[in-house]
Amino acid sequence: MRRFLAALALIPLLAGAAFPVAHRERAPFASRPALDRELWRFSGHLVARGNRRFDFSVLFFRFRVARPNAGRIDAASRWSAADIYPAAASVVDENRAHVWSDRRIERGALALAAASSQRLDVHVDDWHAIGNAAANNGLRVSFHGRIDGIVLAVRARARKPGLQLAATGRARSATGCGAGETDVTSLEATGSVEAGGAPLPVGGVSWLDHEYGDRFLCAGESGWDRFWVQLDDHREILIERVRSRKKAAVTTIAVLIDPSGIPRTLAASTYALFNDGGAHWRSRHTGALYPCLWGLTIPDAGLRLSLEPVTSDQELASSGVGASFWEGALDVYDVTPGTPGRRLGSAYAELTGYAEQPAL
């Protein structure tokens, strides 16, 4: 039963077809206990002295479950839990092409895991993300945790206001699927990475988002490809495509955020995202075949980009707890004809539904 619940919980939420709107909520990153599922993502790209580059991604999930022993243990008991909290994290050392990754899962009891309904404050075991209640430039967030033998400590301050992506294209009222989402697309990050020696001071950029709803996927959907891109000129791009079981994209989010934080929805006719040359990588852990090189063009923004994994093996493979998916750092290059292919920024991609999923 525990494995069944964990497998279901580790499939992240979807945001659905969306448009960005100004954020007016008081505490958009606080938990929403009335909903069945939530996901917090905190990711970033960090640089240490000597241009040693690290990337990190931390995901916290909350999944409401029916108490299997309801009626035998009082709901007020500290042993009673209405939610379970899976989590996954990875840190990439780009210079050494090495990835540290780990997973946790705890129930929301005995202080093993919890999420505050007042502000961003979620923890699973010793992994802890905490922030203030602000949605705009006042947002501050920090994470501390040991991930597969290394210690990551990150503090970040928002440089742009939060964006709310309001679901518009999915049948929330008819099926209960679809979700809301809040993103802060640019945070200035500092901290340290401790990997078998003294902590290395690091600095860079990060991205925070919070998704919430009552369903992960609608009927007939199999997974999603999500990209969040941070360019050195202080523009960001968010693209998410939900795939049907026939592998077609059924729902897409595409947003370009300008340096001042103003978002613009990208119509399908104004950009192209494609698997460049049909390049794929096969996991030695799960046998899953993932796309591994992408082209992205937004002509009216002057962007013709190549999104390239910093290393291929960034799959968060299941070892019996949850689903396997690819959560990987990317380098972003200019491929405009006549340019030397200069590096323009960094990105992350999340690819789900490619590996065989546990029976649900």
Q: Which amino acid is at 321?
A: V
Establish if 138 belongs to a structural domain. yes
Phi, psi of 4 (to 5 degrees): -60, -45
- Residue 299: strand, helix, or coil: helix
Answer yes or no: is pLDDT of 10 > 70: no
Q: Note the pLDDT tens digit of each residue in 103-156.
A: 999 988 888 999 999 999 999 999 999 998 665 567 899 999 999 989 999 999
Establish if 182 belongs to a structural domain. yes
Tokens (6 digits) for 328: 């990987």
- Residue 85: strand, helix, or coil: strand
Q: Note the pLDDT tens digit of each residue in 239-288.
A: 998 888 777 767 788 999 999 999 999 999 999 999 998 899 999 999 99
- Label residues 26-50 b or e (16+ Cβ within 10 Å = b): ebbbbbbeebbbbbbbbbbbbebee
Does residue 187 contact residue 203 with C-beta atoms inside 8 Å? no
The distance in angstroms from the start CA to the end CA of the chain is: 11
Phi, psi of 174 (to 5 degrees): -85, -40
Establish if 311 belongs to a structural domain. yes
Tokens (6 digits) for 17: 């077809």
CATH of the domain at 142: 2.40.370.10
Q: How far is CA 288 from the centre of its chain?
A: 20
Domain limits for position 145: 2-351
Tokens (6 digits) for 83: 């939610």
Q: Note the pLDDT tens digit of each residue in 46-78.
A: 999 999 999 999 999 998 886 545 554 455 666
Does residue 149 contact residue 184 with C-beta atoms inside 8 Å? no
Phi, psi of 287 (to 5 degrees): 80, 0
Q: Note the pLDDT tens digit of each residue in 284-330.
A: 999 999 999 999 999 999 999 999 999 999 999 877 667 899 999 99
Establish if 359 belongs to a structural domain. no
Tokens (6 digits) for 131: 């922030």
Answer yes or no: is pLDDT of 42 > 80: yes
Q: Which pLDDT value is given to residue 137?
A: 60
Establish if 287 belongs to a structural domain. yes
Q: How far apart are CA 268 and CA 252, in angstroms?
A: 9
Residues making up the chain, counted from first to last: 360
Q: Which pLDDT value is given to residue 66?
A: 61
Residues 235-238: contacts with CB under 8 Å, at least 24 apart: 235/259, 235/301, 236/185, 236/186, 236/207, 237/296, 237/298, 238/183, 238/185
CB-count exposure of residue 337 (10 Å: 0-12, 13-18, 19+) = exposed
Establish if 357 belongs to a structural domain. no
Q: How far apart are CA 112 and CA 85, in angstroms?
A: 9
Tokens (6 digits) for 151: 């210690």
Establish if 360 belongs to a structural domain. no
Q: Model pTM greater than 0.85? A: yes
- Residue 9: strand, helix, or coil: helix
Q: How far apart are CA 208 and CA 157, in angstroms?
A: 11
DSSP 265-293: EPPGGG-EEEEGGG-EEE-TTT--EEE--
Tokens (6 digits) for 228: 């969040």
Task: Provide the number of structural domains found in the chain.
Answer: 1
Q: Note the pLDDT tens digit of each residue in 152-171.
A: 999 999 999 888 875 433 33
Establish if 358 belongs to a structural domain. no
